[in-house]
Structure 1
């Protein structure tokens, strides 16, 4: 059961705009008290689903959320759940990570509804809760596919550390605290501690996440003391870090369906990740100060190369594209032939272009697997760099 399912089961309604609107304004407080108690039971028993050892599943815990600006999701009642910033940040991570685990703030939203007595902060509490539930609703496809998961990093962190002060990784991390002099490094220190503890509870189903890849050097000694399944492969973290620093302005256009679909085929997603790894290696071979000036162009080239190597699906697309280009050319020539009476960029030419695009995407939907279509749309994120 996931977070959305426990909310719907307890409240007896689908997590939809009408319910979110009611929670913000008039939903009975006693029902929210019920949700508080049922969600507390849920988080106590919740364990992350297993992942394969080769999968990358970074834990963006509370400390890392602060660095990424995600804390607005549950601290600021003015946060707009329709904002694309949080969505884009998550999708950006998912360009390389198999899945992502976020710190779960819902227990703290629900703390304001521990009992049925009214509280002076009810208005803001309801607003924050409604905003966060809208955020979950918008990301439902990722949550249902176990691509986006949640784990609360607070209830067990401090008591566990109190009991395990002599645990070698803990001692080493604390000793390393002042090796990192930036705010990001200190957040990474807290994040590593949190992930080590959380992953023990979740039986090794989390990977360490670092906001600043330089922190891997600061805390390398401590990482080597961590359990095997928690030691991130340096190249994996390195590629993720570099991708996150590559500007992808069109990432908000990538649908959640495409993010999920490409993962339905291990081959398609492995192909995509190989292309990302090769692209980063090529970029870094350039050297110099302007390391990422050509990053999007190189990523596009590598991703398209993998797409071309995919075989029959792509050849089908090439064939249909040629046919449609011919049809579009004929339509355009017809428009030019009557240009004495019509502007060649008028409705005739526009209709030709619309027909080309429509036919192409219809074929993409019908003639290709969902994973192949999704791969193509991932590649399109970087097209304007070429």
Structure 2
């Protein structure tokens, strides 16, 4: 199949513009809506987007979209879609669903009707008289209704894109890899500059920075659901992996430091970095924030420190942020980026941010405080 397809890259709220830029950088022209970035592309975009999108949650293939207000309309419209193009005779196709501000509000009924319509279509087109076996590759279908518009998609990704494959250990409140990549993308850091994360936890921010710094595709060390699909030829996947290997700059020197007060987390960070194939590219240190010694100009500090909600200790958090502010006031050339839900961060830190951005860390509403350094 060489036809163009419609794809949706899903995104956490507040990160749509970053994902859209990633899609553009891959050569496609996206349109942006809340939580999703839609674009037309050849089939080769499915391997490429799954390999390269750092901030997106997953990539979905759009089978069809239509307005619907009754279950009969839903059944007939779903049955009219060309499912046989994508799902083979033995394909497994569970159906998930969601509905928002739509006449058809019963998600379970929408799922059941969608499933039956696809079964009827596939049995007709594949010439099957018996029950569909569903013993083959996975084609996870979603029926999503928004304001009476139904969008039918198949998930090309499998486990979410934040599952890079390198996290073999983590702490109590790990930062998603996709969000960590977004935090780096929202800076103007480049790999010839020093980057420090003094609250590194399991090492996600330094590891994502290293992957970005050496232009390593974030999906290079994992598998995707659509790798098993027979309508995407193996050569498209092979070409995508070859492109990722060719574009990686393994010779790019990096100066990235991750530190944490907990020696166990430093051990976990080291193991995760090794699993990511980064070896000794990142320097890991077990130390308190007050022991951080900065001797260079024009560096970057990017961190996701404790918020208070998680450790139930507001005094500890307050003292931590105060210490950070006192430390960084002597380094005016440094660019400082802190993600936290702590409402009085600027007051405790001792300085108003140059720029702020609302982001969600899971279900926690946070602010990304950005302090731009003075060039020296």
Same fold (TM over 0.5): no
- Which structure's residues are more often helix, by fraction? 1
TM-score range, shorter chain: under 0.3
| TM value normalised by structure 2 | 0.26
Which one has the largest radius of gyration?
A: 1
| TM value normalised by structure 1 | 0.25
Q: Higher relative CO (CA 8 A, sep ≥ 6), structure 1 or 2?
A: 1
- Which structure's residues are more often strand, by fraction? 2
